[in-house]
A and B are shown apart, each in its own frame.
Chain A
Amino acid sequence: MAHFTKATSVHDWINQRLGIDTVRRVMATEYWIPKNINFLWAMGMVLAITFALLLVSGIFLLMYYQPNVNTAFDSVNYTIMREVDFGWLWRHVHGVAASVVFLVIYIHMFTGIYYGSYKNGREMIWISGMLLFVTFSAEAFSGYMLPWGQMSYWAGMVITNLFSLGGLHADGIVEWIRGDYVPAQAFLDRFFMLHVLLLPLAIMGVIGLHFGALRIPHVNNQDGEELDFEKEAAKYKAGDKKGSKVIAFANDFMSKDLFVVGIFLIFFFYLVFFHYDFAMDPVNFDPADGLKTPAHIYPEWYFLWSYEILRPFSTNIGLMAFGFAQVIFFLLPFLDRSPNAIPANRRGLFSLWFWAMLVDMIVLTAMGKLPPEGIFSTIGLVAALVFIGLWIALPFITKSEKKA
């Protein structure tokens, strides 16, 4: 057993038993962040805060929500929205945060792609981040089922139908996932469980992994400069704070991080109070009806790009293209054959690739929302082919890239 001495203060008493000074040093005061970064480096903290908002608002919604096909719709639209004091606040925070979290995830992802923060030792950061994208997607989908409106029901029908794997007609898998022939009580109950327990647990676990993956390679910087963190940290600790290229995570960097979070929260609550409707599809204010399809079934905006990759093709090819789109981002660190971890604008052809990919995904998103008719379905098809083509081209254009 370790040797304990009589405590000189409450802090000392706790420190002797839990080593909080060490934890603070390792996690905050001696966790080093490069100085040469910009506001885009704050997106991780913005995401952590948004996740916290989702968790807290979700806890309050959970106290009145009823996962039953007969009462779910009213428990949300009547009980929570009209009876519960500030129930509307939790629902709007939850709905808006679920939408905004994807906006920030996409910014976070494209920041990583632009600055090459997924290679030369940072592969696990990228992969764990993609795992978070997948778990957040599942979380968003399962949550979308819960109000049991028309869009909940039909999105549930269409998405679970994807698991019949097109031409294979594996209806057994679909019925197994639903626990019924169509989305019904068993379906609502299990997606409720996934949404409030299993997936949040998975997300929290993967967030831990994501943070852990950052520890050894450290955060990238605006020039992709390879820093000797130990040397720079030593300089900082010796008092040469100006000459050192790094600062401590807390409180130094954190203060800037939280400033960006503050601006984000003003924007966020502006949406919650004045523009929450963008995250609330009007069709979902009709209760679920298995005998009436809404005229247009489309997912929330953040899934539109992959939906549009599925849509212009025949069933089987569409599914394959969709599957491709779901996994291909995972492989980015390995498809990029260039050793340069520098901003895209200094990487020649890759710069074009980056902007083409970004624009293509915006086009796919826009086309996914429009009815698939005439010129829109042609643009959608071209954009889907461009998406696939860009990924196929990536290894070749990065292979021929000159070493910076």
Chain B
Amino acid sequence: MKNGRRAFMGKAFGAVAGVGAVASLYAMKKSWDPLPSVRSAGFTTLDMSAYKENELVVEKWRGKPIFVLKKTAAMLAKQTDADKARDVLVNGEHYMVCIGLCTHLGCIPGYRPESSDFLCACHGGMYDFTGMVTKAPPPRGLDIPPFKVDGNKLVLGEEGPEYKKMKETGITL
């Protein structure tokens, strides 16, 4: 009888402590989540009419560099279908919009306007003007950030239909 009562008290304590432990772990996990202010600052709106052809502009989105390159007619003529699928179209103009971090180890590649390609100084990886890899070690082309076309503007951080399509077809991750 005595032992039965002790065992019950032990189990009752275990149950209370268990619920408390799980609840505290949940609170601890949530406390480490990015804050609402951090999340709401996770959107960048770009006015796409301001860019000049073959001039790379580095914007900032979620603390990461974003490459924006308005393509020239000569570039468009050279593009294959696979290249075209990576283009972001705003008002009929073609843009390359990519996260400017090498997909190898996250260094920032530099743009060379004369040869219109990117060279990553860290490990010698190269990308063409569409952001596709032309020389290893990068495992894939530059990633495209989530975007939504809104008239003349491009909102980074929101997933528009064009972006969702790119993701489905595996053009970007």
Contact = CB atoms under 8 A, between A and B. Distances in A.
Interface of A: 154, 157-158, 161, 169, 175-184, 186, 190, 290-293, 295-297, 314-315, 372-373
A314 B139 contact: yes
Contacts of A179: 32-35, 38
Contacts, number: 61
Interface on chain A toward B: helix, strand, loop, or mixed SS? loop
A188 to B, nearest CB: 13
B39 to A, nearest CB: 9
A372 B123 contact: yes
B25 to A, nearest CB: 14
Contacts of B63: 180-184, 290
Given A154-B106, A179-B35, A296-B122, 16 more contacts: A157-B106, A158-B106, A176-B32, A178-B34, A179-B32, A179-B34, A181-B38, A181-B63, A184-B38, A291-B65, A291-B108, A292-B108, A293-B122, A295-B122, A314-B139, A373-B124
Interface of B: 29, 32-35, 38, 42, 58, 60, 62-65, 105-108, 121-124, 139, 173
B38 A186 contact: yes
B34 A186 contact: yes
Contacts of A291: 58, 60, 65, 108
A179 B64 CA distance: 15
B34 A293 contact: no
A290 B59 CA distance: 12
A186 B31 CA distance: 11
29 contacts: A158-B106, A161-B106, A169-B173, A175-B34, A176-B32, A177-B32, A178-B34, A179-B32, A179-B33, A179-B35, A179-B38, A180-B34, A180-B62, A180-B63, A181-B34, A182-B62, A182-B63, A182-B64, A186-B34, A186-B35, A186-B38, A290-B60, A290-B64, A291-B108, A292-B108, A293-B122, A295-B122, A296-B122, A314-B139
Across the A-B interface, the 4 shortest Cβ-Cβ residue pairs: A182-B63, A181-B62, A293-B107, A293-B108
B122 A180 contact: no
Interface on chain B toward A: helix, strand, loop, or mixed SS? loop
Contacts of A154: 106
Contacts of B42: 181
B118 to A, nearest CB: 13
Contacts of A157: 106
A186 B32 CA distance: 9
A290 to B, nearest CB: 5
Contacts of A314: 139
A314 B139 CA distance: 8
A293 B62 contact: no
A175 B65 CA distance: 17
B45 to A, nearest CB: 17
Given A176-B32, A293-B122, A295-B122, A181 B64 contact: yes
Contacts of A178: 34
Contact of A190 (B32, B58, B65, B139): B32
A206 B38 CA distance: 36
Nearest to A293: B107
A372 B122 CA distance: 9
A293 B106 CA distance: 8
Nearest to A184: B63
Contact of A315 (B60, B108, B139): B139
A323 to B, nearest CB: 17
A297 B105 contact: yes
A183 B38 CA distance: 12
B43 to A, nearest CB: 11
A158 B64 CA distance: 13
A158 B101 CA distance: 12
Contacts of B58: 291
B107 A297 contact: yes
B102 to A, nearest CB: 8
Given A169-B173, A181-B63, A297 B122 contact: yes
Nearest to A311: B105
A394 to B, nearest CB: 31
- Name which of B58, B107, B124 has the most chain A CB atoms within 10 A of its CB: B107
Nearest to A154: B106
Contacts of A183: 63
A304 B138 CA distance: 22
Contacts of B65: 290-291
A314 B107 CA distance: 16
Contacts of B122: 293, 295-297
Contacts of A292: 108
